[in-house]
Chains A and B, each alone.
Chain A
């Protein structure tokens, strides 16, 4: 299957700082990528849909000014957690749709800890 690489795999940051997470599709072009958040022992919660060359579509309740998404190329989407707080600590996972939009491939996830 196709490969989606997410970086970093884990990060620790201080409260008030910003953290950027990258999601790359390595062997295919992805016009659409998705960002999820996962709390311990829970399923994935969709945060936003990232569309190449246009603004991201955020799910209800997700602060777009706090979670900045940029999808500047067909192989890269970034999620920036701005002014991070301890409650932002979570596991963040991205996925990219296959070129036909029929299948989803996921990154390895990023464990964010805000101290």
Chain B
């Protein structure tokens, strides 16, 4: 059974500092991995999608890496801003069309 873990569970940084969020999964046979952002009381917004054959994806200040063999993904957010404060969730998919298995999330607070 796939298990996804996110460490740390919570993170507080001053504005401008880079953020590093970690995600690990126990079964390396994944189809792809997605990073999401969730604001309080809201749904999930997809940030980055990494296919199993890819090593990283970038979008603006966000960069996500994937090391499938070691079961790890890292989300980097450069030059953090107070608006980046949210919960970040990673999730893995075993095959196309299959359900996602989520990690517990990392709650991020960026202090002005």
Q: Do A and B belong to a common assembly?
A: yes
Given A44-B44, A107-B43, A108-B43: 11 more A-B contacts, CB < 8 Å: A43-B102, A43-B104, A44-B89, A91-B41, A101-B98, A103-B46, A103-B49, A104-B100, A105-B46, A108-B42, A109-B41
Evaluate contact between B96 and A102: CB separation under 8 angstroms: yes
Q: How far is the CB of A98 from chain B (nearest CB, A)?
A: 9
Query: Does B32 sit at the interface, judged by CB under 8 A?
Result: yes
Which residues, 7 to 41 on A, are CB-close (under 8 Å) to B? 31-32, 34, 41
Range class of the A interface residue count: 20 to 34
Residues of B within 8 A of A6 (CB): 43
Residues of A within 8 A of B99 (CB): 34, 46, 49
Residues of B within 8 A of A41 (CB): 107
Evaluate contact between B49 and A106: CB separation under 8 angstroms: no
Evaluate contact between B41 and A111: CB separation under 8 angstroms: yes
Residues of A within 8 A of B107 (CB): 41
Contact with B along A84-96 (1 / 0, CB 8 A): 0000000101010
Evaluate contact between A43 and B89: CB separation under 8 angstroms: yes
Residues of B within 8 A of A93 (CB): 43-44
Query: Does A61 sit at the interface, judged by CB under 8 A?
Result: no
Residue of B91, B98, B104 near A42 (CB, 8 A) is: B104
Residues of B within 8 A of A101 (CB): 96-98
Q: How far is the CB of B86 from chain A (nearest CB, A)?
A: 13
Residues of B within 8 A of A111 (CB): 41
Residue of B34, B89, B102, B105 near A103 (CB, 8 A) is: B34
Residues of B within 8 A of A91 (CB): 41
Q: How far is the CB of A76 from chain B (nearest CB, A)?
A: 17
Q: How far is the CB of A2 from chain B (nearest CB, A)?
A: 9
Q: How far is the CB of B52 from chain A (nearest CB, A)?
A: 11
Q: How far is the CB of A24 from chain B (nearest CB, A)?
A: 13
A106-B36 CB under 8 A given contacts A44-B102, A93-B43, A111-B41: yes
